[in-house]
Amino acid sequence: MNRTIRTTEDVFALLDRFFPPAEDQWDRFYADRSADRPFFVPKPDENLVSYLDRGLLSPGRALDLGCGPGRNAVHLASHGFDVDAVDLSSTAVDWAEERAREAGVGAGSGAALRFHRASIFEARLPHDRYDLVYDSGCLHHLPPHRRIGYLALLDRVLAPGGHFAVTVFAAGAMGSEQPDEELYRLGGLAGGLAWSPDELRSLFDGFVPLEVRPMAARTPGDGTFGMPFLLTALFQRTASL
């Protein structure tokens, strides 16, 4: 049968086929824990720690999108947040659950931390609204057409007055700067998409930008993760919808 498109989701599924299957890709990425990948360190993002230290964020319900091995989810739970963390890779989620147990957070610890092996668009979450949506490295690995669902997800789950924080590859430092249209011709995301501060502000123009800056560099001996090839941003939703 050649005529299969009837819904918007049918269009999205067709466009997904321009890109390699993501689940297998991320399972392979996380399979070798000894690999020299800066994102594997068991440390929270320096910008997240900074937001907490400066009182920009207060404990509440948090949703971690593309949580990987759970370093930021564990940190949030250890600071009193009720956390749901989602990742497409079962290998990453297994690792994250191990880290949570080692850190003494999660099941049986009194800290609320739940990991979900699912697409961020399909995860069955226990709460309708979250005070914080945190994304460290998910957005820049989404095909362009999936940004529509990403914005819809934020609109659905972020509470009035809530905060949204995102970390992406920084334009001019790391990641592909190819136009969206060209990515479909290439059949891939070239390792991840680079974003400029203006592009982030434009994408999330329905939110109030509180801070948009390069991630501060951190050394291996520091207690937080920081790489200057990343761009961080903190937005807030207006108090009324």
Please check the confidence at residue 4 and state whether its pLDDT lies above 90: no
Q: Are 129 and 158 in contact (CB under 8 A)?
A: yes
What percent of the chain clears pLDDT 70, i.e. is strictly above it? 96
**What count of residues does the chain have?**
241
Across 28-40, average pLDDT: 93
What are the sequence ranges of the domains in the chain?
8-20+43-66+127-236
CB neighbours (10 Å) of residue 216?
Answer: 16
Token look-up 């609204």 returns: 129
Which amino acid is it at 59? P
User: Given this model, what pLDDT does residue 132 score?
Assistant: 98
The pLDDT score that the predictor gives to residue 3 is: 87
Q: What does the pLDDT average to over 98-107? A: 87
Please report where in the chains the tokens 């689940």 appear, as a residue: 23
**Which residues lie across from 166 on neighbouring strands?**
135, 233
Instruction: Give the model's pLDDT for residue 99.
Output: 96
Residue 181: per-residue pLDDT: 96
Residue 111 has pLDDT above 70, yes or no: no
What is the rounded average pLDDT of the residues 92-120?
A: 88
Strand partners, 146: none
Q: 217 pLDDT exceeds 80?
A: yes
Instruction: Please give the Cα distance from 169 to 215 (Å, whole number).
Output: 10
Tokens standing for 16? 């997904």
- pLDDT tens across 167-199, in order? 999 999 999 999 999 999 999 999 999 999 999
> CATH class for domain 8-20+43-66+127-236?
alpha beta
**Percent above pLDDT 90 for the chain:** 91
Alpha carbons 189 and 27: distance in angstroms, whole number: 17
Tens-digit pLDDT profile for residues 221-235: 999 999 999 999 999
Averaged pLDDT, 122-134: 97
- Looking at the predicted structure, is the pLDDT value of residue 1 above 90? no
E strands, the chain, are 61-65, 82-87, 113-117, 130-136, 158-170, 194-195, 208-214, 230-236
113-117 and 82-87 beta bridge pairing: parallel
